[in-house]
Every structure is written in structure tokens, then in C-alpha cells.
Structure 1
Amino acid sequence: MPQPSEQQVETREAVPGKLILYTDGASRGNPGEAGAGFVVSDGSGRELFAGGRYLGQCTNNMAEYQALLLGLLEVKRLQATEVAIFLDSELIVRQLQGRYRVKDEKLKPLYQQALQYLAGFSGWRVQHVPRAQNARADELSNQAIDERL
């Protein structure tokens, strides 16, 4: 798989504390060309960081997890102690909530890595949102595929 590149759309200075993370993975084909998008905001909704990454060939669920991991790294870099995560992937949300088992062997290491990242926060929650409420992250994941970012 080619080395992923990252697009930084915008960065602003963050205030440590609780941040909000929206993530989305896209795959054109399953597996197919894939991208990850993520948006970090403060509690007032002010966008602190938005980015996308081209992932090469992978499934939609792998792309969803990669987007989550990239977003969590950015939240940690911004020194947040708590994070509220919003995704439009019901599968990933329910796996992280412990409501679904992770059956796909290729997803297990990504799931475990996500749990390790989440353990570094004093508090976190994950919630499913409709696709329309995740439009910015969706746009960034598709842009990453289109532009091979």
C-alpha cells in the first residue's frame, strides 16, 4: 500500500479540555480506493483542525477506523483531556460501545488501537449521527480520494 499523505485544511490554537471529533471513512468499492476525513472542534463548535488522508485500497469499515485513529491523534496533539466523538458508521460506534463484537479479523487491530488511544483520555463518548450531520468529515474523506492527499 502506498504511504498515505495528509492534508491539513486549517489549524487554530486549541484550548485544552474537552474537544469534539467528527470522523468519516470513504471507500469507492469494498475494498476500493479509500480516504479518511476528520474535524476537531472546541465546545463552542469552532473548528480547530480539519484534515483528510488518502488510504489506498481498503474496505469502508477499515477507512472508518483509520479516520477515527487519525482524528484521535489530532485531539491528543491538541492536548484535550476529554473527547466526544461523532461518526455515521453505526457498526464502529456499536463496537466501541461494546454492543457489537468485532468479527472481522482485519478490523480487530484497528479496534484495539482505538481503545488504546481512548484510554489516554480522562473521559470519552462516542455517538452515531446521521450522514447529513457528518458532512464536513465526509467531504474531506472524499476529497482525499479525489486528490490522492
Structure 2
Amino acid sequence: MLTTNSDGGARGNPGPAGIGVIIREGEKILEEYSEYIGDNKTNNVAEYMGIIRALEIASKHTNKEITCILDSELVVKQLLGKYQVKSPSMRELFLKVQKLQNRFDKITYVHKPRNDKYQKMADWLVNKALDEAALKK
């Protein structure tokens, strides 16, 4: 079964933001992705952008069952329907995730702390994107 580990972060919150995604089957990493997503973004927007990109990439590998791991408890609880999405900008991203979910037979969302091995890797990819963007300025 395919697993995604995604992360998003902003320096300053809001501030410059990036995302990191790991796509794996068990311990085997199939794909890593890192992207600078712009200035003046919040951590929560970055987390949503991370899971959106994770679902887009994962859909190239499978349309069956996937597990999506995030370190944002807020985003996981919103995706599970336990918390409401009140912010209009977050609602737009939430709806995009819901649309992407249709590409898969089943999705399980899991919250894991950022000290998880693969979440650390996704976090490293976030910082890589931010560092590379800062060097270009």
C-alpha cells in the first residue's frame, strides 16, 4: 500500500512557505518532492498545499488505497470532519483535497508528530525549498 508523508511550513507565519512530500511503499521511497509555494503564506495553508501535492503525486502511482500522514493535527481533524473549516481560503483548499480524494478507492489520514522518521524527511524538504528560494533572492 502507498503512503504519503507531507509537510508544509512558513517562516514567520505568515511568510515565505514551502512544502515537502515523500511517496513510499513501506520503507521504499518512490518519490520525493520539494516546492517553494510563495511569500505571505500561513503554516496551515502550506500544510494543505502539501497534502494537495501529495495526493496529486500519489495518483500517478495508484488509484487504490493510500495512507496520508501529516504532522498537522488541525488539518487531519478537518479532513476527517472532526473540525470545521471556517476560513474561506482554507475552505477552498479543503474542497480541493476532497476533489482529489475521488482519485482513490480509500484514503486514511493519520496525524503523526514531526519526530517521525518520514515526517522529518518531509520537513527537511520544506526547509530545502525555503533555503533554495532565499538564495535566489
What is the match of residue 74 of structure 1?
57
Give the aligned CA root-mean-square deviation in angstroms: 1.2
Instruction: Give runs of ≥4 in structure 1 deviating > 3 Å.
Output: none
User: Aligned runs of 1:1-149 on 2, under 5 Å?
Assistant: 18-42=1-25, 44-57=26-39, 58-133=41-116, 134-148=119-133
State the 1:80 CA deviation: 3.8
1 or 2, which has the higher helix percentage?
Answer: 2
* 1:82-125 superposed Cα distances (whole Å, 9 cap, x missing partner): 11010000000000000000011110110000011112210110
Q: Quick one: which amino acid aligns to residue 87 of structure 2?
A: D
Q: Following the alignment from structure 2 to structure 1, what is the Cα–Cα distance between the partners of residues 92 and 50?
A: 14
Q: Following the alignment from structure 1 to structure 2, what is the Cα–Cα distance between the partners of residues 45 and 72?
A: 19
Uncovered stretches (5+) of structure 1, i.e. residues with no partner: 1-17
Per the normalisation by structure 1, the TM-score is 0.85
Check the 8 A contact 2:63/2:103 in 1, yes or no: no
User: Percent same amino acid at aligned positions?
Assistant: 35
Q: Following the alignment from structure 2 to structure 1, what is the Cα–Cα distance between the partners of residues 62 and 76?
A: 23
